[in-house]
A and B are shown apart, each in its own frame.
Chain A
Amino acid sequence: MSTANQAAVERYRNNFLKEVEANVEEGHMVKMCMQCGVCAGSCPLGPHWEHSPQKIFMMIRAGKRDEVLGSDSMFMCTSCYNCIVRCPRQLPITHIMHGLANYAHRLGIAPKGQPTREFATLFWNNLTKKGRVNELTLTLRHYFRGGLVSGIKEALAMQGVGLGLLKAKRLNPMEIFGGHGVKDLKGFHAIIAKAKEIEDRKKGFTA
């Protein structure tokens, strides 16, 4: 258990709802759910979720902290916004799902190896390095996430696309050596660091 997680458990004990309200984006709206199930019925990926948004809201109220934060359900959301549009109580369900996923991730108890979580991490790290997405390294890291053999296989399968991009000058092979960044990279890193500091403070992740 991460220290942040331990601290959160300590602070909120059995009142998971309060923890969600304090730390999760739009978490204060969870209590307004009236359990009609329209979100669950509207979700195009519904059958692939272990727990529908309706159930997640109920589990939060029932204090099922480990089940919710350890669930991969929130990572299944594709941000189609169907649920937000239909919710009779106007809960920002999509935002809450992302908020919960983010909270679980930061506590370090989100499921390991969850593809959405992994790719998002990859994307974020790639982006914050130079202030730009390095498409070549991002793609390669993604292909080789499962090891050398599967990486080579995946890269070969996509070689046609890669060569096409190369010919059209949409892909610069030199980018593999770190690539170009934004102007004033130092300043950019300072902005990101400050934003993280503010967010950590808000969400109680500061030591």
Chain B
Amino acid sequence: MADNKFAAYICSGCGIGDAMKVPQLEAIAKKEGKMAVVKSHPFLCNAEGVQMIKDDIANEAVTHVCIAACSRRAKTEAFQFDGVAMSRANLREGVLWVVAAGKDHDEVRQEMAADYIRMGCAEVKKMTQPAGNVKESSSKRILVVGGGMSGMTAALEIAEAGYEAVLVEKTGALGGMAAKLWKRQPFKTPYSAPQEVDAGETAARVAANPKIKLYLNSTIAETSGAPGRFVVKVAQESGAVTDETVGAIVQATGFTTYDTAKLPELGGGQPNVVDQAGLEAMAKAANGGAIKRADGKEVKSVVFVQCAGQRDDTGAHLSYCSGHCCGTSIKQATYFKDQNPDVDTVIMYQDLRVPGMGEDFYRSAQERGVIFTKGKASRVAGGDTCSVTFKDLILDDENTIAADLVVLATGQVPNAGVDLEAWNPVVTAAEGGDEAAKAQRIVMHGSSVLKLNYRQGPDMPQFKHGFADSHFICFPYETRRTGIYAAGPVRRPMDMLQATDDATGAALKAIQAVENAALGRAAHPRSGDLSFPKARLEGCTQCKRCTVECPFGAIDEDEKRFPVFNEERCRRCGTCMGACPVRVISFENYSVDTVGSQVKAIEVPEEDEEKPRILVLACENDAYPALDMAGLARLNYSAFVRVIPVRCLGSVNTIWITDALNSGYDGVMMMGCKKGDEYQCHFVKGSELAHYRMSKIGDTLKQMGLEPERVVTQEVAITDNARVVKLINDYVAELDKLGPSPMKGFG
């Protein structure tokens, strides 16, 4: 530490120098911040200002820099100094632009700026520049699980980008569901006729590609490790097990069609009632000729029943729309019409949905004379002459149509492996000695796709309706298992065109993951971050909170139940740091100390000065940009708040809250992302965990003799710039009514 040299640079540009007394700020940085070098500049981000800092780093051996200028989100390219730890005091967006203009506010503005200088200096003193952890032997091969259209596409994209792929397919042939189709929905202009599937041709390209290692009739027996060093045991039909070392995994395990046996009222299982896959088989058998039923009779009339066992609100069947089935039925109706225009084809729909360019295809089917009837089928009877009883939703009457064949448009059921929500209680029971649970655990583990040996379960978490994980709102390919990407219908219902696009996206994400892992850098969303959590295990109480709460399953446990951090799996959100009750987890540049010292650095005015202090811990992903945006829009908020950005609300350790309240702050406001099913949290669970933890803070406050209103948690979106201002101002007014904190003067 002897070699550390701290420097503070204060910018007086953008009007900072006019509104604030910069010499006084310099004095504070020198005296209170204990900075060895303190300089100000009228235009710090220009070439001259940046050169001044660079010269100090080169000539004065400055190792730690506090830049007091604009927000840490601005001028990031100018203020980038390799090998130097840096903090940013936000004088522009955080003070100048949000504190009301005019002489009346000079005093509070100056106090706010002074506190941000104190905080910036305190933070940088606790920081270490992360060195990163470059792995010499990191693997850049990518495993693709599933040999359907998505899996084959992913493997080919990986190979074409110059990486090696390992493709594992459960059955004896590539192609999956695509190979069973007669034709596919049009994906090229003019979108008016079904196109060839070419699954066989794609499979041949996969088989012939020297960069793709192919395992047929094989499953995964175990996956261990982390990005850059996954070891996958591939179990082959012969009983042989091969170890494959890969850097990332693409899971493209696709879907199974919904079982028509579950739809007896719609004729499931009765003669001449088939699902869409059944019709594809008939069309393949007909090979362009007249489509014949199982009994050999040529089909002269056919009714397609859409949403069979889908979009069901009774809870008995699938509740979602599978997206592709309207287009698929249109395609199948054209099989009949193109062969013989006199075949009566009726598509019975409730809401016709044809994503992509499907509208053109829909129109082309109408031109062919396919009849579209808006109706809900209530009963289907199979037999030599099938009948469909339905309610016509336009004419509002009950009707029956007769047909030679009825096709049920059933949905996609994802092959996503074990549902961790069901897995965890079974494991807990099994660990408690429950024999039935032990047996169930073995069965469940057998149904797993990836068989991860992670502490948090053998597959990736499922999102909704059993589909594999996806950060649906911001980063659809991202899952909560770093380096493992879901692609195709396993992730959400989709058609073949979407699946191939999806597979390409996932392949590119996997390539990013192996490259990042090799450089010791974080994957999305803190892409490029070199820091990773370190734990002082001698202080650890083996409480397991970090291993349970890590949203990404990055932390395993050793035999003694100490946490084992897999840094390549870590996304650097700091949720473990927020969870740790004994505060032994920290990052080099983000720790309990870097934030805690900022909390304690500010000057809390005496009670009679009537200047409350409110700590705002703002998520750096959404809330902090929203606050910056408020500054950009020149919206004013109270100059009594002190904002500290945090990596995620999940990283907030309750010690910061108690420290703040003990120091005499009047209130603490946390701003995180939206939680719950419609979450917007970049780290998926961080905001939710923070809300949960804060709901338990009441007891602590009571012990301190404080009102529960002194700590509040808010959900904000990145677009909420006007709302964050209102939240702050309302909270300040509320605290004003509550009166000053009784803790003042004791800190």
Which A residues have a C-beta under 8 Å from some C-beta of B? 17, 31-32, 34-35, 54-55, 58-59, 61-62, 64, 89
Contacts and interface: CB of A to CB of B under 8 A. Distances in A.
A31 B369 contact: yes
Contacts of A54: 394
Nearest to B363: A32
A193 B318 CA distance: 64
B399 A62 contact: yes
Contacts of B373: 58, 61-62
B395 A55 contact: yes
The 9 closest A-B CB pairs, nearest first, are: A58-B394, A32-B366, A35-B374, A31-B366, A61-B371, A58-B395, A55-B394, A35-B394, A31-B369
B335 interface: no
Contacts of A34: 352, 362, 366, 372
B367 A32 contact: yes
B588 interface: no
B392 interface: yes
A17 B363 contact: no
Contacts of A59: 395
Contacts of A89: 363
Contact of A31 (B352, B367, B394): B367
17 contacts: A31-B366, A32-B363, A32-B367, A34-B352, A34-B362, A34-B372, A35-B372, A35-B374, A35-B394, A54-B394, A55-B394, A55-B395, A58-B392, A58-B394, A61-B372, A62-B373, A62-B395
Contacts of B371: 17, 31, 61
Interface of B: 352, 362-363, 366-367, 369, 371-374, 392, 394-395, 399
Nearest to B349: A35
A31 B364 CA distance: 11
Residue among A17, A31, A59 with the highest chain B CB neighbour number at 10 A: A31
Nearest to B359: A34
Contacts of B352: 34
Contacts of B392: 58, 62
Nearest to A17: B371
Contacts of B369: 17, 31
A69 B369 CA distance: 21
A55 to B, nearest CB: 6
Contacts of A17: 369, 371
B678 to A, nearest CB: 29
A32 B394 CA distance: 16
Residue among A54, A59, A62, A89 with the highest chain B CB neighbour number at 10 A: A62
A55 B397 CA distance: 12
Given A34-B362, A34-B372, 6 more contacts: A17-B371, A32-B363, A58-B373, A58-B394, A62-B373, A64-B395
A62 B352 CA distance: 18
Contacts of A55: 394-395
A186 B363 CA distance: 49
Contacts of B394: 35, 54-55, 58
A31 B367 CA distance: 7
Contacts of A61: 371-373
A58 to B, nearest CB: 4
A55 B395 CA distance: 6
Contacts of A35: 372, 374, 394
Nearest to B401: A62
Contacts of B367: 31-32
Nearest to B344: A15
Nearest to B370: A31
Contacts of B362: 34
B297 to A, nearest CB: 20
A32 B367 CA distance: 7
Residue among B366, B394, B399 with the highest chain A CB neighbour number at 10 A: B394
Nearest to A57: B394
Contacts of B363: 32, 89
A54 B366 CA distance: 16
